[in-house]
Structure formats: C-alpha cells, structure tokens
Amino acid sequence: MATGQLFSKTTQALFYNYKQLPIQRMLDFDFLCGRETPSVAGIINPGSDGFQKLFFGQEEIAIPVYPTIEAASNAHPTADVFINFASFRSAAASSMSALKQPTIRVVAIIAEGVPESDAKQLISYARANNKVIIGPATVGGIQAGAFKIGDTAGTIDNIIQCKLYRPGSVGFVSKSGGMSNEMYNTIARVTDGIYEGIAIGGDVFPGSTLSDHILRFNNIPQVKMMVVLGELGGKDEYSLVEALKQGKVQKPVVAWVSGTCARLFKSEVQFGHAGAKSGGELESAQAKNQALKEAGAIVPTSYEALESAIKETFDKLLEEGKISPVAETTPPLIPEDLKTAIKSGKVRAPTHIISTISDDRGEEPCYAGVPMSTIIEKGYGVGDVISLLWFKRSLPRYCTQFIEICIMLCADHGPCVSGAHNSIVTARAGKDLVSSLVSGLLTIGPRFGGAIDDAARYFKDACDRGLTPYEFVEGMKKKGIRVPGIGHRIKSRDNRDKRVQLLQKYAHTHFPSVKYMEYAVQVETYTLSKANNLVLNVDGAIGSLFLDLLSGSGMFTKQEIDEIVEIGYLNGLFVLARSIGLIGHTFDQKRLKQPLYRHPWEDVLYTK
C-alpha cells in the first residue's frame, strides 16, 4: 500500500445508499474548509435516479442520483472515493462492484458485521489492484482542511474545536471511530492539529492496517509525527512493530494500545469491536504496548499520560525547527438549518399550511382531536369519521347514520349516467384506476349530481324568507333558473324515486325537525301541477334534509350552516358516494377485459 496522501482539497466521492445527515455534514465541512466544489459528486441509490437537494453553505444545490455504481462512475470519472453506507448484508457486493470500477481508488465501508469471508475477498482484490479499503466497521477518515468521509469527526462544533478546518502536522490512525473523535480533540489541545486521521475499523479483518497508514504518513512531507491508538485483540499492531524495527518509519510515533484493564477480569473479555478480544498474552494490550516501546515508539504508561506524550513529542519537534507554527484562521460560519434554529428559539418563521381537522405529530393520528384508537374502540363508522374531518365535531349517531345512508343510496345509479359512462369508456381505453375515476368525477356538476348545494341554498333562502311555493318557483322562472333538486329524466308522480322515499322515512323517524324537507315537498306539489316529471329528486331530498340535520342538531350556528352550504359540503357527499360506484365500474370493465369503446355511428345524427 504505502505511497502517500489519499485525499486532497479537490477529492470527490460517490456516496452509496442515500443518507441525508452524513452527506450534509460532508458538504458543511467542505464549506468550512473553503472548498470550491462539493466533495460529493453523486449519490447511488439502487433503483432510483434524479436529484437530491442539499446545502453547500448558503446555496442549495442538486446532487445527481444514479441507480447503479457503473452509471455514477461513468458520469463522474474524477470521483475516486466510494463511501459505502450499505447494510452489512449488501456492503460486500456493492464494495466489490466499486473496487472493479477503474475510476475508484479508495472504498470506505461503514457497516459492521460484514462476513469475514467477504471481507477477506475484498482485501485480496484491493491489494492485487493497488486500491485502498477503509473499514469495514469504520466511521471513515479525514484530511484536515480538505476532505472527510461521512460522519467522521462528528458535528461542525466539534470539527471547529478540533481545528480540523485547516491542516496540522500530525498523522493519526486508530481502530475506533468513536475514539478517533476523542483523539482529534486531544491532539488539537497540545499540537497544531492533525493533517490526516483514519479509523481503520474494529472488525477482525480490516481492509487496511495501522501500519499501512503509518507508512503512508511517513511519505507525506506535511506529516511530522504520528499517533497510533490500537486495542487488544488481533496482531495488527505487530506489523507496525516490524516496520519500526526495520527502520521504515523515520518520524516519531506516539502509540497506545487500549484494553490494559482486561487483566482485571477473571475470564476473557469481549470489548465493543469484533476484533477487540484478547486471544492470548501476545494479543493483550500490555504485550503490544511493550513491543511497540521496544521497537522505538513513544509509549506512555497509561492512556491518561497519552496527551502529555503527544505534547512532549510535538514541542520537541517545534524546538528543533522541524515544525513551523500554523497561522490560525477563522473558519466561515455554517448557516444554521431553519428547523434547528426554530427548535433552539433563535428564529421564528411563518407556517405555510394551516390544518384544524387532523394531527399526525403524536403517537397516533387524531381526527379533530379524537385519537385513532378511540375511533376504533368506540366502533365509529364512516359517518362518524366524516363528521370529525368535515364538520370538526362528533355529531349524534342519527346524523352520522344519515350521512352513511346518503353515501349508500348515491353510490351508483347504473352504467348509463354520464359519470359511470365516462369511467367505463376511460377504463376500456386502458387507463389506470385514478384516471378512470377522475374522468367520471369531472362530469359532476349542475346537470349531474352536483345540485345538492344549490338545492339546499335555494330551498333555505325561500323557506327562511317565508316565500310560498308559488312565489319561489315563479320567481326562479323569471330569473331563468331551473329549481335545483326538482325534476328527473325517468322518475315521475307515478314512479317515485325510492331513494327519496327512504331518506324521507328516515328523517321523519329520527330528525327532531323536518321543516326544510316539508317545504321542499310543498314545492314539489306545486311543480307537479305543471309537469308529471317535476318531482323532488335525490339532490333536493339530500339538500333539504341536510339543512334539517344541521339546524335540528343544535350544534351549528346560522352562520356555520350558511358557510357549509356555500363551501360545497353537500356536493362533497355525492362526490364521495359516487366514487364508490365509479371505482366499481372501472374494476368491472377491467375484470371483463372489455376492448376499446367506439360509439356506434348509427347512434349519431350527422347533419350540416
């Protein structure tokens, strides 16, 4: 491996398996370091493509998303780092695919628990093809002031405190990602900070070793000293011992192997990492620390003394003139996300939507303040849900049952009415359910099913003003307006609409008052004297009875009733109900595999 620097201020990466937070942290670090271009060139989300919006400082940018590693690599040939956030189940396959891309030079595998046999295959392939693996089970790595992998070094506040926004003189390598963050802080307190830091990962078979990176650091002129943090278990540290003994490392190495407390336990102890388990004296922290010390590394007597050892080594290099003091700079401020700023009380922002009927922020959704579990436990029906979501209150059961009856009675009226006809024709044209449903719904209006609101509006106005049926009907005639809710193409005096009769019977039995319905019947009596088919239709029945429901329940003010009628609540009942039938017709045509509909020419009057 050896060679030198892995990253630079122009390094770009491909990010596998979209994770918003680590990508945004990378971009915030880029901005903090003064990079001209974002370090994330593209995102690979299997099966998806498009763009993801993120921030680069104050500017919102769109990072392209690709469905495959090959597509992303071809689109960004200069992106030579692959950051793999796949789960342990798919990390090996995706990492191997990345290693096989000629443009990819470094692969970072974040997942822990990658099968050891898979890890060995990845390592073998990488070494044979002169490529670098960081991980598995790693947080990644960082080159101060230039590039970082994912969540390395944590939050922006920690990065600034550790002076990672500009390069220092220390090369650091560790097995642990968590301890890396701690050590960045420690090193920043007593030196000019790190130049590069790598966490090789805590699995038994890491893709690269401690000595691999120390030998790299030795070849980087800007790195003047190295710090190593190992751990008990495995024999990785001994490759570093051999390198030190063979004189391959010419720069000071301060090292500590954690896990000396293991001897206090009577039985073998497994620490956090898969590889942190002592399998014998040679793998103990004490044996490794002793071997490193004998090979020439600077090894303190305890972890607590590590900071002092680092300081003494750095100060000595400073005195010898091997390190020049770093000019401190003030990093730019990273704009705070609006959500964070609002949560901390720093800013206030207007909302864009007001909602009073439902709330999904708690443990369960609520309809008008009633939890979903209560709706189920109390056996609420569809009418009860409509009363909550439409009227923002729990109406009496006779009201909600009336709503349900209206829905059942208006669900369908055969295949010949305009709405059903449209849905059938659309379904037979091979269109999807939503398209077929909408084509039928678009026919609802003043001439088909959409007269409920108008019927309620005109009946209420006439009744409240005390107009006689004669005055009402003749007044409408003078205005050139047909009376909504009166008249039917098929039904007549001698062939009454059964739906109207059922609604009237229910209202007489359950409603405290049927004033508006009685007025509508008086109007019907007058209109029947003019023509046999000017009967009260289902629109007029529902419109007048809904007025009785609203006024008779005692739960609505006059102003609220007027608003409900004006907004279009009552037509909403027909739209909701008829959607059931239109969906049924759509399914029926598709189930029957009906061909494209063409209207017969003999049913068309061709004229000039």
Q: Is residue 351 part of a domain?
A: no
Paired tokens of 404:
């349900």
**pLDDT tens digits, residue range 510-553?**
999 999 999 999 999 999 999 999 999 999 999 999 999 999 99
Average pLDDT over residues 321-348: 88
- Residue from 76, 213, 273, 488 carrying the catalytic annotation: 273
Domain with 515, as residue range(s), is 411-592
Phi first, then psi, for residue 604 (nearest 5°) are -120, 135
The count of other CB atoms within 10 Å of the CB of residue 500 is: 25
Give the closest residue to 561 by CA, choosing from 471, 285, 552: 552
Residue 394, in any domain of the structure:
no
Look at residue 389 and tell me if it is in a domain: no
Q: Are residues 315 and 430 in the same domain?
A: no
- What's the rounded mean pLDDT across residues 488-493? 89
Task: List the CATH number of the domain containing 500.
Answer: 1.10.230.10
Question: Which pTM was predicted?
Answer: 0.72
- 273 has catalytic annotation: yes
Strand locations in 219-332, DSSP E? 225-231, 253-258
Q: Helices 569-591 and 538-552 meet at what angle, rounded to 10?
A: 130
User: Does residue 608 lie within any of the structural domains?
Assistant: no
Residues 449 and 577 in one domain: yes
- Alpha-carbon gap, residue 4 to 208, rounded angstroms: 14
Question: Per-residue pLDDT for 590 more than 80?
Answer: yes
Residues 251 and 110 in one domain: yes
Separation of alpha carbons 593 and 65, rounded Å: 39
56 & 162 share domain: yes
Beta-bridged to residue 14, according to DSSP, are 42, 82
pLDDT tens sequence across 397-444: 999 999 999 999 999 989 999 999 999 999 999 999 999 999 999 998
pLDDT digit string (tens) for 87-142? 999 999 999 999 999 999 999 999 999 999 999 999 999 999 999 999 999 999 99
- Residue 5: pLDDT band (50, 70, 90) is very high
The answer to whether residues 28 and 176 belong to one domain is yes
Q: Does residue 298 share a domain with residue 419?
A: no
pLDDT at res. 278: 56
Residue 269: band (very low, low, confident or very high) from pLDDT cuts 50, 70, 90: low
pLDDT band of 158, cuts 50, 70, 90? very high
Within-domain flag for 566: yes
Same-domain check for residues 307 and 451 = no
pLDDT band at 4; cut points 50, 70, 90:
confident
Kindly report the CA angle at 291 between 297 and 207, in degrees rounded to 5? 80
For the chain, what percentages of helix, strand and coil (3-state, to nearest 5) are there? Answer: 45, 15, 40
- The domain that contains 190 carries what CATH number? 3.40.50.261
Any domain includes 352: no
Number of structural domains the chain divides into: 2
**Size of the chain in residues:** 608
Tokens of 5: 């620097």
Domain boundary among 320, 336, 356: 320
Q: Is residue 371 part of a domain?
A: no
Give the confidence band of 3 by pLDDT, cuts at 50, 70, 90.
Answer: confident
Report the distance separating Cα 144 and Cα 164, nearest Å: 5
Sheet of 50-56, strand order:
50-56, 59-66, 40-44, 13-16, 81-84, 106-109, 132-134
Q: Does 600 reside within a domain?
A: no
The Cα 33–Cα 29 span in angstroms is 6
Cα-only R_g, the chain? 38
